[in-house]
A and B are shown apart, each in its own frame.
Chain A
Amino acid sequence: SQQGEEDPQALSIQEGENATMNCSYKTSINNLQWYRQNSGRGLVHLILIRSNEREKHSGRLRVTLDTSKKSSSLLITASRAADTASYFCATDFLTSGTYKYIFGTGTRLKVLA
Chain B
Amino acid sequence: KAGVTQTPRYLIKTRGQQVTLSCSPISGHRSVSWYQQTPGQGLQFLFEYFSETQRNKGNFPGRFSGRQFSNSRSEMNVSTLELGDSALYLCASSLDGGTVETQYFGPGTRLLVL
Chain A residue with the shortest CB-CB distance to B110: A40
A45, B43: Cβ atoms under 8 Å?
Answer: no
Please count how many residues in chain A sit with their CB below 8 Å of the partner chain's CB atoms.
Answer: 25
Report whether over half of chain B's contact residues are helix, strand or loop; otherwise say mixed.
strand
Number of interface residues of B (CB under 8 A): 25
Q: How far is the CB of A37 from chain B (nearest CB, A)?
A: 8
Cα distance, A111 to B53, chains bound together (Å): 43
Asked if residues A41 and B100 are in contact (CB atoms below 8 Å), the reply is: no
Is there an interface contact between B100 and A102, defined as CB atoms closer than 8 Å?
A: no
Select from chain A the residue with minimum beta-carbon distance to B35.
A103
- Residues of chain A contacted by B92 (CB below 8 angstroms): 43
Shortest Cβ distance from A75 into chain B, in angstroms?
A: 20
Measured CA separation A90–B36 after assembly (Å): 14
